Amino acid sequence: MDVQNLRSQAADRLHDAAQDGKHRADAMLEGVALAVAEFADRIDGDGQVAKLARSAADTVSGWSEVLQSKSVDELVEDSRTVVRRSPALAIGLAVATGFALSRFFKASAPR
């Protein structure tokens, strides 16, 4: 096998893994949006906390829609653009995302 063929196979596998990750992230975002919306329904009805929770659910749902509407290549390019424009923001988002995901997985792990 030549190097070009191996590179092509690796790129295909990486793209497939990214596509799978995109679907998993979308499912997680949809689940979070649904959970936050249900939380808003259970608390004080039309109070301030419920309004904030519904707003957060709408925001997360919007992220899910954006994720669904873009290809993996478009998402990668968008990420590169954000990092180029504001590296500090990108690092902060990565840290916050990592923290949120670790809390999510820790909370959802079987006991």
For 34-81, what is each residue's pLDDT tens digit? 888 888 888 866 788 888 888 888 998 998 898 889 998 898 898 889
Sign of CA dihedral 29, 64, 94, 23: positive
Quickly state the pLDDT bin for 29 (edges 50, 70, 90).
Answer: confident
pLDDT band, residue 1 (cuts 50/70/90) = low
Residue 92 has pLDDT above 80, yes or no: yes
Confidence of residue 102 (pLDDT cuts 50, 70, 90): confident
Smallest CA-to-CA distance from 28 within 109, 105, 111, 82 is with: 105
Q: Is the pLDDT of residue 18 over 80?
A: yes
Q: What is the pLDDT of residue 44?
A: 67
Residue 85's pLDDT is 92
Where do we find the tokens 């992220």?
63
Return the domain boundaries, the chain. 1-69, 71-111
CA dist 69 and 99 (Å) reads 26
- Is pTM, for the whole model, over 0.75? no
Give the separation between CA 31 and CA 23, rounded to whole angstroms: 12
